[in-house]
Structure 1
Amino acid sequence: MSDFSDALSVSSSGLRAQATRLRVLSENIANVDTPGYHRKTIPFELQGSKDSVQQVETGKVDLDQSDLEQIYDPQNPLADASGFYNGSNVDLIIELADAREAQQSYEANLKMFEQTREMSSNLMDLLRR
């Protein structure tokens, strides 16, 4: 039964990591038009030794330090003397593509979790006979 619990543990860690990634991506998408907003990124890390089952964990949320978009709008109260102000550095296309990838990874982990649970249940049924 240890193999089943290991598989459930690995897939549930993947579910948690992708759910966190989706949350961060949704914050980026929500702030695509927020002046001065820096895109958030979240790294994945493997936890566990080579002898044990490795699980996916999320690291610390970081801010993308790439240059902010310069927007020309002299009427905006945030504009400087030359009429420019800092927009965000969020690229909506990249965020949507990353969100789609995270969704597919989440679904794959969920499928693995369901199949492992079903195999465990079928094994218990066989052992009861």
Structure 2
Amino acid sequence: MSDILGSMGVSSTGMQAQAQRLRHASENLANADTPGYRRKTIAFKELADGGVEAGRVKLDRSELPQVYAPGHPMADASGFYAGSNVDLVVELADAREAQRSYEANLKIFDQSRQMALGLLELLKR
């Protein structure tokens, strides 16, 4: 029974980590047109029990694109301002991967729950 409960714990940490990853992908998508915005990334750390935990949020330090818009309030004297380094295609793919990973962890959690309930029914007899 402890193995079943352990698998539920591991899958729940996976769901929490993927939810945080999805939240950052959503923030990146929402701020794709915000001048000076840097893409947020997150790495996972493995826990002693086999689960995962979301690490610290890091900002993508790649070069910000220079956007030419002389009428923009943030433009310098030459008409350029720093854009965002968010790539919409990358963020959508990352969000889709986080969603699928979340769903896989949810399925494992549900199957473990069903096995635990089945075991409890057998023990009642």
Matches within 5 A, 1:7-22: 7-22=7-22
Provide the alpha-carbon RMSD of the alignment: 0.6
Distance 1:113 1:5 in 2: 9
Secondary structure (helix, strand or coil) at the match of 2:45 reads strand
List, as ranges, runs of 4+ consecutive aligned residues in structure 1 with deviation greater than 6 Å: none
Structure 2 gap ranges (5+) = none
Provide the secondary structure at the position in 2 that maps to 1:27.
helix
Unaligned runs of 5+ in 1: none
Listed as ranges, the matches of 1:102-113 within 5 Å are 102-113=98-109
CA-CA distance at 1:75 after TM superposition: 0.8
- Structure 2 CA distance, aligned partners of 1:31 and 1:18? 20
Distance 2:11 2:51 in 1: 8
Q: Provide the identity percentage.
A: 62
Q: Could you state the TM-score of these two structures normalised by the residue count of structure 2?
A: 0.98
Q: Distance in 2 between matches of 1:39 and 1:100?
A: 17
Q: 1:23 aligns to what?
A: 23
Corresponding residue for 2:121? 125
**Counterpart code for 2:16:** R
Tell me what 2:60 maps to. 64
Post-superposition shift, 1:83? 0.9
Q: What is the CA distance between 1:69 and its match in structure 2?
A: 1.3
Pairing 1:55–2:51 present: yes
Which one-letter code corresponds to 1:116 in the other structure?
S
